[in-house]
Amino acid sequence: MNRLCEVTGVSRAGYYRFLRRGEVSEADMDLRSAIQSIALEWPAYGYRRVHAELRRQDWLVNHKRVLRLMRADNLLCLRRRKFILTTDSNHELPIYPNVAKEMVLTGIDQLWVADITYIRLETEFVYLAVLLDAFSRRCVGWALERSLDATLVLEALRLALKQRRPGPGVVHHSDRGVQYASSDYTKELERHGFTISMSRRGNVYDNALAEAFMKTLKYEEVYRTEYRNLEEAKASIKEFLEKVYNQKRLHSALGYRPPQEFEQSLRGRRGAA
Q: Are residues 226 and 145 in the same domain?
A: yes
83, part of any domain: no
Residue 135 belongs to what domain range?
100-272
Greater confidence (206 vs 52) lies with 52
* pLDDT tier for residue 22 given thresholds of 50, 70 and 90: very low
Instruction: Kindly report the backbone phi and psi dihedral angles of residue 136, in degrees, each rounded to the nearest multiple of 5, phi listed first.
Output: -100, -5
One domain for residues 173 and 239: yes
181-186: average pLDDT: 94
Same domain? 122 vs 239: yes
> CA-CA distance, 120 to 266, in Å (whole number)?
37
Is residue 17 one of the residues assigned to a domain? yes
Q: 157 versus 222: which is more confidently predicted?
A: 157
| Axis crossing angle, helix 47-56 with helix 26-41, rounded to the nearest 10 | 110
Q: One-letter amino acid identity for 131?
A: L
Higher pLDDT, 22 or 194: 194
**In-domain check, residue 110:** yes
Question: Domain boundary residue among 33, 52, 72?
Answer: 72
Each residue of 111-141: pLDDT tens digit? 999 999 998 888 888 999 999 999 999 999 9
Of 34-43, 152-161, 201-210, which one has max mean pLDDT?
Answer: 152-161
Residue 84 located in a structural domain: no
Residue pair 210/113 in contact (Cβ under 8 Å)? The answer is: yes
Say if residue 46 is in the same domain as residue 108: no
Q: Is the pLDDT of residue 9 over 80?
A: no
Query: Which residues does 174 contact at the CB level (< 8 Å), separation at least 6?
Result: 113, 114, 115, 180, 197, 198, 199, 207, 210
Arithmetic mean of pLDDT, 96-102: 93
Q: Which pLDDT band holds residue 240 (cuts at 50, 70, 90)? A: very high
- Statement to judge: residues 13 and 126 lie in one domain: no
Domain-embedded: residue 162: yes
Give a yes or no: residue 93 inside a domain.
no
Q: Is residue 91 part of a domain?
A: no
| Higher pLDDT among residues 34 and 184, named by residue | 184
pLDDT at 23 over 50: no
Q: Summarize the confidence of residues 2-27 as an average pLDDT.
A: 56
Same domain, 229 and 181: yes
- Residue 6 burial class via C-beta count within 10 angstroms: exposed 0-12, middle 13-18, buried 19 and up: exposed
174 and 260, same domain (yes or no): yes
pLDDT at 127: 93
Average pLDDT, the chain: 84
List C-alpha distances in Å: 258 to 21, 63, 154, 247.
39, 20, 26, 6
Residues 45 and 110 in one domain: no
Whether the per-residue pLDDT at 254 is higher than 60: the answer is yes
Is the domain of 181 the same as that of 247? yes
Higher-confidence residue of 123 and 85: namely: 123
Q: What is the mean pLDDT of residues 146-160?
A: 95
Measure the CA dihedral 113/116/117/120, to 10°: 130
User: Predicted confidence band at 11 (pLDDT cuts at 50, 70, 90)?
Assistant: low
More confident residue, 235 or 208: 235
Q: Look at residues 32, 52, 72 and tell me which one is the last residue of a structural domain.
A: 72
Task: Report how many domains make up the chain.
Answer: 2
Cβ proximity of 135 and 107 under 8 Å? yes
Together in a domain, 42 and 154: no
Q: How confident is the model at residue 83 (pLDDT cuts 50, 70, 90)?
A: very low
Instruction: Identify the CATH number of the domain in which residue 187 sits.
Output: 3.30.420.10
User: Does the residue 16 lie in any domain?
Assistant: yes
Q: Is the pLDDT of residue 264 over 80?
A: yes
Please check whether residues 34 and 132 belong to one and the same domain: no
Q: Quote the pLDDT of residue 4.
A: 58
Query: Are 38 and 163 contained in the same domain?
Result: no
